[in-house]
Every structure is written in structure tokens, then in C-alpha cells.
């Protein structure tokens, strides 16, 4: 009897140990089992290929080639593919070990006998993946435990900086505090890599000025943001022409909020939840027109998710009305899709590149609803998911960031905003945030230089 109990106990322990890794793997991503299997096969192939390249090369240092597939600066997609493949080979000939998006495509060019049938099938299915899944693939390869210690930087092709993928990759390497090099043709068949200089903290900060203010004050803050090379300057749509004129020749990205509360600050918790989709599109149009009118070529938009509909969907779900909940959740996603599609179409007609970040207002959501909101954003064309407007009862927390990271993985950037300051920023960064919205950027800059802030506390309604 005792032996039987011991045997059963051992079997239970083994079963628990075997189940534990599966649970952790499930927490890593919300993809379907089929996509996870294909991701694993392609990642394994990529890692083995890079390790083999390291073994044959004199240098073990690894460089990532950024953004050539969708926007390599050569016009059509086939031309971009050819150019990116050519640059990959030239970098290798110079002695560098390269991780390139073209590695997956190259599998299809190999003889059938040299490629595992399952891998070839996985690559064929990957052709139908959304862009976000490819971003997850590259991030997993770069952070693979066998490769990550040897990753030394990113090489960015000309004119690739404003595509969604290139912006995400840029934020990855800045968050990891790794060098970014710009690829330049010399005209004699040779090339050079120019190291991009950036502040490892300010290059991830979006300087925010949302309070009612004057054009002169906005212009002054934009000049300061340009001088310090912060990542972005965030204002209301009516001020986009002002900052666009100041920032159009700088790396600082003009950014506008859309669908934000205006004068009724005390009722903000109610008002901003029910902003109609068409109002958000109208704000986006005003921002795009403002940038285009001064010759700007790039901007970002921070839109608010339909919190009101999101909470109604949750209530329906808890009440057992699953069909109604599904319909409402679909409405939340449709609101985001319509705004992004409308903004991109209008921006393209005005010669402007636009990316959209989606604010989920974490202070209004419990954990299950935050996870659902993150799932919705993950399945859209948004560049990033963002925590807060700065008008809620609390700002970003480490737990918020961890939940978002669990759901979106590497498919979206994560922006922390609301109550972010110098002491809090490193903790949010370690939790997985890539970008940081704050109105106290000047104080942060002083603290980075070892100086005392001139003022304390965050601005009301200003992140």
C-alpha cells in the first residue's frame, strides 16, 4: 500500500513538472497552437543558421538589418526585397554576422533535399501572417538566450525609418541601449555605417503638453524637445502646425492626441469614454492637415479606445450574454480599425507617414478587461498600446505593463503614460515598456545630469 502511494505521488509530481513549462509557454503568447508551432520551427532554423554563421566567421558580433521588406527606400516591394538581400550579402562579405528578414524568404530558394518539409510548410504558411506576427518572430530570434549576448546593434537602410516595423525595431534597440547604424552607399560600390547618436532615456520619452496653452509656449517646448532629441512631442490637434514647423527637419516626431477631453476636466472620466469614431477621424484629419501644411512628412496619433463600449461588453459577458459581448468587443476593434485606416489613407494622400498608438486607459479596467483590450489592440494595425491619458485616477503601473507584455508580446510597442517621472521610469522600463509619455521631461533631463528638478509633481492632465 505504501509503495503504491509513493508511486502515485511520484507520478503526480512528474505530471506537475511536465505541465509547468506548458503553462509558462501559454503565458508567453496568445497565438493559436498552429502559429506557435510554426513560429518555433522558423525561430529554431534562424537561430541554428546564425550560430553556423558565427562559427564560420571571424567575429561573433551579430547585427540586425532593419526594415527593408516593407520600406527599403527602393519603391516597389520586389525592389525592396532585392535591395535588402543585396545589402545582407554585402554586410556578410565585410565580416559581419547578420540577422535579416530575408533569411525566411531564402528557405524557399533552397533545394528541396536541403530543407525540412515541416520547415518549408511553416514558411509557406508564414506568407499569410499579419505583420505583427513577423515582428514577434524577429524579436524572439534577437532575444534567444544563445544569440542575445552577441547582438551588438542594428543596421537601418535609408528611408526605412517611418514604417511601422522600422519604428518598432528602433524602439527595441534603444530600450536595450544598443547602437543603431545608418547604411549609406558611397557611390563606388562600397558602403559605410554611420552610428546614430541618441540618449538612452530621452530617445524613448514623448514630451507632452496637453493643457490649454499658447502657440508661443508650444513652440518654445518644441524647440527644447528638438534640441534634446526626445523621441516625440505630444500636443492637441490644433497645435500640430506649430510643432510641425519646428520639428520637420529633426528626429523628434510630431504627435497629436485624438478624441481627448477639452475643457470639462472634472467630467473627463465620463466625457472621453464616449467620443464618436467620426470625431476621432476629424481630429486625425486636423492633425494631418496641420503637419502637411508646413511640409512635415511624419507624425503619430494617440487615440483612445472606446472605454464605454469596452465596459459594456464586459458587463454583458459577466451577465452571461456572450453573443452581445462578442458584438460589443467587435465594435471596439472596429472603432480602432476605422480610425487607423482613415488616418493612413488621408495621410498618404497628403504625402505624410502616420502611425497610431491606442490608449486603453488602464485606470478604468480590471485585469481581465485589460487583457481583453490588449488582445483587441494586438490584432489591429496600431504601432503601440498605451496605458493612460493622464486624466484618470491613476497612471501607469508595473503590473499594467506586465499584463500588456504578456498579451501583445513583441507585436506592439508599449507606451507608459500617466504619472511617469524620473524615479518611476526605470521600473516601468524593466517591466517591458518601450516608450514613456510625460510632461515633466525637463525635470527628467535635469535629474539625468545630476541636477535637482525646478518643480515637483506632474501637471494636471498632462501625463
pLDDT tens per residue, range 174-209: 999 999 999 988 877 789 999 988 888 899 999 999
Q: What average pLDDT does the chain have?
A: 83
What are the CB-based long-range contacts (under 8 Å, 24+) for 234-239?
234/206, 234/207, 234/208, 234/209, 234/210, 234/302, 234/437, 234/463, 235/208, 235/209, 235/210, 236/210, 236/260, 237/283, 237/284, 237/286, 237/287, 237/290, 238/286, 238/290, 239/209, 239/215, 239/290
CA 79 to chain centroid, in Å, comes to 26
CB 316 within 8 A of CB 325: yes
pLDDT of residue 12: 37
Across the beta sheet with 62-66, the strand order is 97-99, 62-66, 151-156, 180-185, 191-195
Cα separation of 459 and 436, whole Å?
15
207, β-bridge pairs: 233, 438
Which whole number is the average pLDDT over 77-103?
82
Cα separation of 274 and 326, whole Å?
19
Q: What is the dihedral of CA 432, 435, 437, 443, to 10 degrees?
A: 90
pLDDT of residue 160: 63
pLDDT of residue 76: 66
Cα separation of 417 and 454, whole Å?
21
| CA 189 vs CA 87, 115, 155, 301, 321: distances in Å | 11, 33, 18, 40, 65
pLDDT of residue 103: 64
Who wins on pLDDT, 300 or 461? 300
Pick the CATH number of 202-448 from 3.40.50.20, 3.30.70.590, 3.20.20.80, 3.20.20.70: 3.20.20.70
pLDDT tens per residue, range 330-366: 999 999 999 999 999 999 999 999 999 999 999 999 9
Q: Kindly report the pTM of this predicted structure.
A: 0.84
pLDDT of residue 26: 35
Who wins on pLDDT, 111 or 429? 429
pLDDT of residue 229: 92
pLDDT of residue 194: 92
pLDDT tens per residue, range 213-264: 889 999 999 999 999 999 999 999 999 999 999 998 899 999 999 988 655 4
Instruction: Indicate the helix (H) or strand (E) that contains 112.
Output: none
Cα separation of 314 and 312, whole Å?
5
Who wins on pLDDT, 417 or 85? 417
pLDDT tier, 102 (very low <50, low <70, confident <90, very high otherwise): low
435, β-bridge pairs: 415
| CA 402 vs CA 115, 198, 285, 396, 458: distances in Å | 38, 26, 33, 11, 23
pLDDT of residue 443: 87
Cβ atoms < 10 Å from Cβ of 180: 22
CB 361 within 8 A of CB 307: yes
CB-hemisphere CA count at 13 Å for 41?
A: 20
Who wins on pLDDT, 263 or 116? 116
| Segments of the chain assigned to CATH 3.20.20.70 | 202-448
Amino acid at each position: 500500500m505504501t509503495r503504491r502511494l509513493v508511486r502515485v505521488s511520484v507520478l503526480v509530481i512528474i505530471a506537475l513538472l511536465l505541465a509547468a513549462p506548458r503553462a509558462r509557454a501559454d503565458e508567453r503568447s496568445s497565438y493559436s497552437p498552429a502559429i506557435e508551432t510554426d513560429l518555433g520551427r522558423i525561430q529554431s532554423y534562424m537561430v541554428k543558421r546564425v550560430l553556423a554563421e558565427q562559427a564560420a566567421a571571424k567575429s561573433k558580433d551579430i547585427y540586425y538589418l532593419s526594415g527593408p521588406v516593407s520600406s527599403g527606400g527602393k519603391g516597389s516591394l520586389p525592389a525592396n526585397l532585392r535591395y535588402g538581400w543585396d545589402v545582407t550579402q554585402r554586410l556578410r562579405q565585410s565580416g559581419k554576422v547578420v540577422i535579416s528578414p530575408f533569411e525566411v524568404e531564402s528557405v524557399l530558394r533552397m533545394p528541396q533535399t536541403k530543407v525540412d518539409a515541416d520547415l518549408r510548410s511553416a514558411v509557406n504558411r508564414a506568407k499569410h501572417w499579419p505583420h505583427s506576427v513577423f515582428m514577434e518572430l524577429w524579436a524572439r530570434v534577437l532575444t534567444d538566450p544563445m544569440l542575445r549576448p552577441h547582438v551588438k546593434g542594428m543596421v537601418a537602410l535609408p528611408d526605412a525609418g517611418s514604417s511601422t516595423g522600422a519604428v518598432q525595431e528602433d524602439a527595441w534597440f534603444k530600450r536595450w541601449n544598443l547602437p543603431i547604424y545608418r547604411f549609406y552607399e558611397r557611390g563606388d560600390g562600397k558602403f559605410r555605417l554611420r552610428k546614430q547618436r541618441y540618449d538612452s532615456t530621452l530617445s524613448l520619452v514623448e514630451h507632452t503638453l496637453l493643457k490649454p496653452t499658447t502657440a508661443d509656449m508650444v513652440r518654445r517646448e518644441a524647440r527644447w524637445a528638438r534640441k534634446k532629441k526626445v523621441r516625440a512631442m505630444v500636443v492637441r490637434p490644433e497645435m500640430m502646425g506649430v510643432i510641425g514647423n519646428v520639428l520637420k527637419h529633426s528626429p523628434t516626431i510630431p504627435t497629436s492626441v485624438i478624441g481627448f477631453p477639452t475643457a470639462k476636466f472634472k467630467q473627463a472620466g465620463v466625457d472621453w469614454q464616449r467620443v464618436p469614431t467620426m470625431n476621432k477621424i476629424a481630429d486625425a484629419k486636423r492633425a494631418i492637415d496641420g503637419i502637411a501644411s508646413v511640409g512635415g512628412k511624419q507624425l503619430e496619433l494617440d487615440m483612445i479606445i472606446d472605454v464605454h463600449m469596452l465596459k459594456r461588453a464586459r458587463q454583458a459577458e459577466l451577465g452571461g450574454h456572450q453573443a452581445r459581448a462578442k458584438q460589443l468587443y467587435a465594435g471596439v476593434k472596429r472603432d480602432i480599425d476605422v480610425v487607423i485606416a482613415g488616418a493612413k489613407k488621408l495621410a498618404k494622400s497628403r504625402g505624410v507617414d502616420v502611425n497610431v498608438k491606442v490608449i486603453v486607459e488602464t485606470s478604468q479596467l480590471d485585469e481581465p478587461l485589460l487583457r481583453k483590450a490588449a488582445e483587441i489592440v494586438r490584432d489591429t494595425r496600431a504601432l503601440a498600446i498605451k496605458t493612460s491619458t493622464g486624466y484618470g485616477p491613476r497612471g501607469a503601473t508595473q503590473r499594467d505593463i506586465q499584463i500588456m507584455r504578456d498579451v501583445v508580446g513583441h507585436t506592439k510597442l508599449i507606451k507608459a503614460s500617466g504619472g511617469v517621472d524620473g524615479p518611476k521610469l526605470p521600473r516601468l522600463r524593466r517591466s517591458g515598456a518601450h516608450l514613456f509619455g510625460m510632461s515633466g521631461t525637463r525635470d527628467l533631463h535635469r535629474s539625468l545630469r545630476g541636477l535637482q528638478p525646478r518643480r515637483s509633481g506632474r501637471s494636471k492632465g498632462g501625463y
